[in-house]
Structure 1
Amino acid sequence: MKYKRPVSYFKYSFLAIKFDYIQKQKQYKNIFRKAFYYVIWSLM
């Protein structure tokens, strides 16, 4: 194998982008949850 096939390259890059997107969503959810708890805690 001298070169990678474009199809597999695109497939892998798509998976990488998808994985990155999922990771970012988890990060945002964690931030949102922390902010939510902080607001509730400050109101008590």
Structure 2
Amino acid sequence: LCAFPEFMMFYTNSSQTAKQLSDLSEAINGNFVTTIAKAAKENKIQV
């Protein structure tokens, strides 16, 4: 099992609101998750 903390892929300061963080986030079917899912499938591992 591999797990990746997408939230930690970029710097955020502690004063940002939940709304601001939400606006910065990538959709679940975005490039990050899609790329990781593809690599996992090719290597027969679960993420």
Task: Answer yes or no: same fold by TM over 0.5.
Answer: no
The two structures have a TM-score, normalised by structure 2, of 0.36
Structure whose alpha-carbon radius of gyration is higher: 1
Does 1 or 2 have the higher relative contact order (CA < 8 Å, sep 6+)? 2
- Which structure has greater helix proportion? 1
The two structures have a TM-score, normalised by structure 1, of 0.38
